[in-house]
Amino acid sequence: MSTHEQKGETYNEALMGFGVEPMRERDLYEVVDIEEASGLNRWGYDAYRRELYTNPNSVMLVARTVATDGFVIGFFAGWVIEDELHVNNVASSPAHRRMGIGEALMSAGIDEARLRCCQFVLLEVRASNEAAQALYRKLGFKSVGRRRDYYRLPTKDALIMKLAL
């Protein structure tokens, strides 16, 4: 049973809207559910929790429905390294795709990068993930390279994309 069903909510409630806010420990089970459903390289609960509490350079955000006790429908995880924001993971739940969640999370991450005086944002994306690449291009990212066999299970190349701020 999904976390959303446990709360007695349906996915239709998400259509009421969402907001982006800092990730909290109480969000982590839902974040891991989305991570697993999205086929991302696994971080898991403990890694996200460590980022929240021990890494001041982390940028950890969630998209949450605006309903009372809203549930997490997407997340963003990144690191500020020197003058760069590196996007590690960004995903929305499969039932909430193509609703602007990924764009809102990326925009919030980019805003945070600007606040932290970053000069650019860098990410890797599966070479086969054309939907994500289209979103990143819409936000101004340019393809600057390729990493062969970067992803595992299945093995796939990654495109390196960069946004100058």
User: 98 φ, ψ to 5°?
Assistant: 65, 35
- 67: helix, coil or strand? coil
Active-site residue among 35, 48, 112, 136? Answer: 136
How far apart are alpha carbons 84 and 117 in whole angstroms? 9
Check if the beta carbon of residue 112 is closer than 8 Å to that of residue 130.
Answer: no
Active-site residue among 124, 130, 150, 151? Answer: 124
Pure H helices in the chain: 3-6, 28-38, 45-54, 101-115, 130-138
**136 is known as an active-site residue:** yes
At a CB cut-off of 8 Å and minimum separation 6, what does 33 contact? 2, 3, 93
**35 is known as an active-site residue:** no
Active-site residues, by number, are 124, 136
